[in-house]
Amino acid sequence: MVWSYCNPVRIEFGADSFDKLPALIGKRAYALVTYGEPFFDELERRLRAAAGPSVLTIRDVAPNPDYRLLTEQSARFAGLASQPEVIVALGGGSVIDSAKVFAAAGGDFATVKTYLETQQGAERLAAIPIIAVPTTAGTGSEVTCWGTVWDEANGKKYSLARASLYPTHAVIDPRLMLGKPQLLTISTGLDALSHALESIWNVNNNPVSANHAVAAARGVLDVLPKLANDLGNLELRSRMAQAALFAGLAFSNTKTAIAHSLSYPITLRHGVQHGIACSFSLPMVLRSVKGAGGLCEDSLRQIFGADLTRAADDLEDFMARLGISCNPAAYRIERAEWHALIADSLEGERGRNFLGSKERLIEASQTQRMPSAVSA
């Protein structure tokens, strides 16, 4: 087996590691990308006191960063006398993805748009360094070199992927994750689980990514149900953050696969939260890869045990205990649409990463329990 693995992000992990951020910024002029909420206002105040004021602060980040808002936000960078020397992304996955867009745009979103739609003009993209400070455990964006960009008006999703978009540093402070609401905690945790499993049933998997993925999946399966009922537990938050980090390190080299390919139209059409949209199909996919052999099956057995048929049922039960249905009908997806989504998703970039067979996946989808009426 010939393989390679690389991740250049320096990781600062642990409670109160946020205090290291001013030293990482140093004397550089920085822009801050964050949310306009009291919790983040206080973090911004602390950062300003230690590192000085930012040259620009973006506070109006929206879930699923979209062309329209990104265009407006990038124009604010264009209004600066000079571009920042570093961008600090303080928040969840949408904040970090937005920061990557700003780092590549350098004040001109049109260059990013052209690149996304044509894969032309890479030489015109900027490369402003990024320091990522995630405040949720699940996105993995703090250790990847891509960000998700949505064109909601045309029903499209793009991945902005450039090696220059790896953050230079990821500052992971579990204390910043305390108090996050239950549904957000569950959704982001399931996103991490999906990242881990998607990197395993992946044509790009390798022994290093697989080791990270196994540790990540085991961690999520153990910790997430406990954390969902004890949201203020710092130890559980730390373990969940570490599991999510391992998942990020796994899929940073493989990218995602079929479950994520399925998720994007589900989010666009049905408004299902990303972490739910990319995870409720995991038991189905797990059933379909039984017998895949090699590193994939070895890794899955390390996580779930020898019986992968039972493992898929157990995973479905795990999701149910978290209040998440694995039935597409729960998300107003009719049987015909579901089967069409599967067929279409296999043809996309992420679908082509899937090492399972189309026939087995379709078989698994057809044996899934689907009530005749769509539930609310």
Tens-digit pLDDT profile for residues 136-147: 999 999 999 999
pLDDT score, position 370: 44
Q: What is the per-residue pLDDT for 59?
A: 98
Residues of the chain with pLDDT > 90, as a percent, come to 93
3-state secondary structure of 162: coil
Q: What pLDDT does residue 371 have?
A: 38
**Contact at 8 Å (CB) between 165 and 100?**
yes
Q: In whole angstroms, give the CA distance from residue 251 to residue 256.
A: 6
Does residue 194 carry a pLDDT above 70? Answer: yes
Query: Containing H/E element for 172?
Result: strand 169-172
Using pLDDT thresholds of 50, 70 and 90, give the confidence band for residue 373.
very low
CATH 3.10.105.10 fits 182-366, yes or no: no
Mean pLDDT, residues 178-192: 97
Task: Name the DSSP class of 114.
Answer: H
* pLDDT value, residue 368: 60
Q: Taking the domains of the chain in order of start, what are their residue ranges?
A: 10-175, 182-366
- Mean pLDDT score, 30-47: 98
pLDDT digits (tens, 9 = 90+) for 266-306: 999 999 999 999 999 999 999 999 999 999 999 999 999 99
Q: What is the phi/psi pair of residue 132, to 5°? A: -100, 130
Q: Which residues 6+ apart lie within 8 Å of 345 measured at CB?
A: 258, 261, 262, 265, 351
pLDDT (tens digit per residue) in 207-233: 999 999 999 999 999 999 999 999 999
How much is the pLDDT for 376? 30
- Detail the DSSP E strand segments found in 73-141: 86-91, 130-134
317/320 Cα distance (integer angstroms): 5
3-state secondary structure of 167: coil
Alpha carbon 371 to its chain centroid, in Å, reads 30
Would you state the pLDDT for residue 191? 98
Q: Backbone phi, then psi, for 314, in 5-degree steps?
A: -65, -40
Average pLDDT score over residue span 54-58: 98
pLDDT value, residue 372 = 35
Return the CATH architecture of domain 10-175.
3-Layer(aba) Sandwich (3.40)
pLDDT digits (tens, 9 = 90+) for 349-372: 899 999 999 899 989 988 765 433
What confidence tens digit (pLDDT) does each residue in 128-138 have?
A: 999 999 999 99
Q: Give 151-160 pLDDT, tens digit per residue.
A: 999 989 899 9
Average pLDDT, whole number, for the chain?
A: 95
d(CA 243, CA 219): 5
